[in-house]
Amino acid sequence: MPLLSKTMGEIRVGTSGYSYQDWKGAFYPQNLASKDFLKHYSNFFDCVEIDSTYYRIPSLFLIDALTKKVPSSFRFTVKTPSTFTHTRDKFLETLEPFRKATAPMIRKGMLACYLAQFPSSFPYSKDSLAHIADIANNLDAPLCVEFRKRDWQKDEVYEFLREKRTGFANVDTPRFKTLPVPSAVATSEIGYVRFHGRNVAKWWRHEQTYERYDYVYTTEELQEWIPRIKQIQEKTKVTYILFNNHFRAKAIDSANNMKKLLGIEAGQSTF
């Protein structure tokens, strides 16, 4: 398939997370030290989503160290802590520490955006919209939001996000009636697409969380998304396509396959 028009927005393809021990042998050399994972990864991809920040706020020194392991053209998207999206009662308490921790990426122009991933229990309501506005208004870099409930896929939400200059994360998940349907929505200058896999059997019932993301995308399944990605690209300055089917480096295979479909060579983006 030909490369999408360079008159449209930039496209970057990567994975959700990179520091997985089960990627050794499948993507990382067996003898590669964990501290060198990101440098190796950046030889093949020009962006990555940092998911560990959801579980704990990193030190400023750790974030600064990450920026030194990749080229200056590399971009990070950073997931907000669970206190922003799930528990929420400690949002204000953790806001400033999180802002300070990620400051080095912003200062160096390497933080593309923050990602707030809300759970399926997060209801569509005025209070919820106000909370999203609080997050967006208090961060020093663009915000994108992901919803795990179909109720959020409505014009009122998209208009609200446009007013707040907040991006909408389009997702690929199993086709359950409560989960979002595939979409091509862009509500800011940043387009965002996350591929979680379609593991129907393990999505709701699993012993370990990673089982949910144990899935191999076929070329045909990825091809379905090309028209949607083009629509998003036409309305944005940059679109991030991140694969979260990370079990045993399946995200790497999917990301590489997507790059081929988009006409992007290994180690290159569309800019």
SS3 for 170?
A: strand
Query: Does this model's pTM top 0.95?
Result: no
The structure tokens listed for 137 are 């208004």
pLDDT given for residue 268 in this prediction? 43
Asked, for residue 71, whether it belongs to a domain, the answer is yes
pLDDT given for residue 176 in this prediction? 83
d(CA 198, CA 72): 34
Q: Count Cβ atoms below 10 Å from residue 183 Cβ, excluding itself.
A: 17
d(CA 157, CA 153): 7
d(CA 233, CA 209): 31
pLDDT given for residue 6 in this prediction? 47
The parent domain of residue 173 ranges over 10-262
d(CA 76, CA 101): 14
Name the pLDDT band for 159 (thresholds 50, 70, 90).
Answer: very high
d(CA 230, CA 244): 21
pLDDT in tens, 188-233: 999 999 999 998 777 777 767 767 788 999 999 999 999 999 999 9
Asked, for residue 271, whether it belongs to a domain, the answer is no
Q: Which of 178, 181, 186 is nearest to 159 (CA)?
A: 186
List the CATH number of the domain containing 127. 3.20.20.410
d(CA 105, CA 37): 18
pLDDT given for residue 214 in this prediction? 87
Residue 132 has pLDDT above 70, yes or no: yes
Asked, for residue 268, whether it belongs to a domain, the answer is no
Q: What's the alpha-carbon Rg for the chain, to the nearest Å?
A: 17
d(CA 114, CA 78): 5
pLDDT given for residue 209 in this prediction? 73
Asked, for residue 269, whether it belongs to a domain, the answer is no
The structure tokens listed for 62 are 């750790």
Asked, for residue 149, whether it belongs to a domain, the answer is yes
- Secondary structure element (H or E) that encloses residue 48, with its range: strand 47-50
Asked, for residue 243, whether it belongs to a domain, the answer is yes
How many domains would you assign to the chain?
1
Asked, for residue 141, whether it belongs to a domain, the answer is yes
Asked, for residue 125, whether it belongs to a domain, the answer is yes
